[in-house]
Homo-oligomer: A and B are copies of this chain.
């Protein structure tokens, strides 16, 4: 697979010359992962910021009791990384694991400064996508505070219908911050209602 989807995605934010595309391609790598493989493990230094060409990943955190808390899913045209670990090069809080065979574009920490130096527009590009990610994260906090579990599920189903079909229920429950049993109850309630 080519990095075409990445270039198309980037063209929504910045215009790259063909020279710049060549330079970019010389600095990034495309890597395949199998279902179940880890891209980052809690405690590792996260070396890459990744763009998903195909497949699906989950980013999760293991708490003291061995409970898994899913922070996000990433599918085609999304990013995945432990940003905190990546920018400071300190041990990661999160695990990132493939839920399907996946292909990722890898932006290594070691080359990203070269990219910014050579193509300053990329600084703008990453500023803009991280702004969006921050806004999405704030909105999620608001939903966590102001919506019931049922309404959060309805919102998720509404916003990410494609993700819901690709992922087991118990992971969606974890993403929503509720137990799989309670999500099951919510779903049976919803069936009775309509």
Chain A interface (Cβ < 8 Å from any Cβ of B): 61, 63, 67, 69, 71, 83-84, 87, 93, 116, 120, 123-124, 126-128, 130-135, 137-142, 144-146, 177
Asked whether, in the complex, the Cβ of A130 is within 8 Å of the Cβ of B134, the reply is: yes
Q: How long is the Cα–Cα vector from A131 to B126 in the complex, in angstroms? A: 9
| CB–CB A61/B146 < 8 A | yes
Whether B177 contacts A145 by the Cβ 8 Å rule is: yes
Q: Which residue of chain B has the shortest Cβ distance to A144 in the bound complex?
A: B144
A126 contacts across to B, CB distance below 8 A: 127
A85 and B144 alpha carbons, distance in the complex (Å): 20
The docked-state distance in angstroms from the alpha carbon of A128 to that of B123 is 10
Q: Is the CB of A135 within 8 A of B61?
A: no
* 17 A-B pairs in the complex with CB atoms less than 8 angstroms apart: A61-B142, A67-B146, A83-B134, A83-B138, A84-B139, A93-B139, A93-B142, A120-B120, A120-B123, A123-B124, A123-B127, A127-B127, A127-B130, A133-B134, A134-B134, A134-B137, A141-B144
Chain B residues closer than 8 Å to A177, beta-carbon distance = 144-145
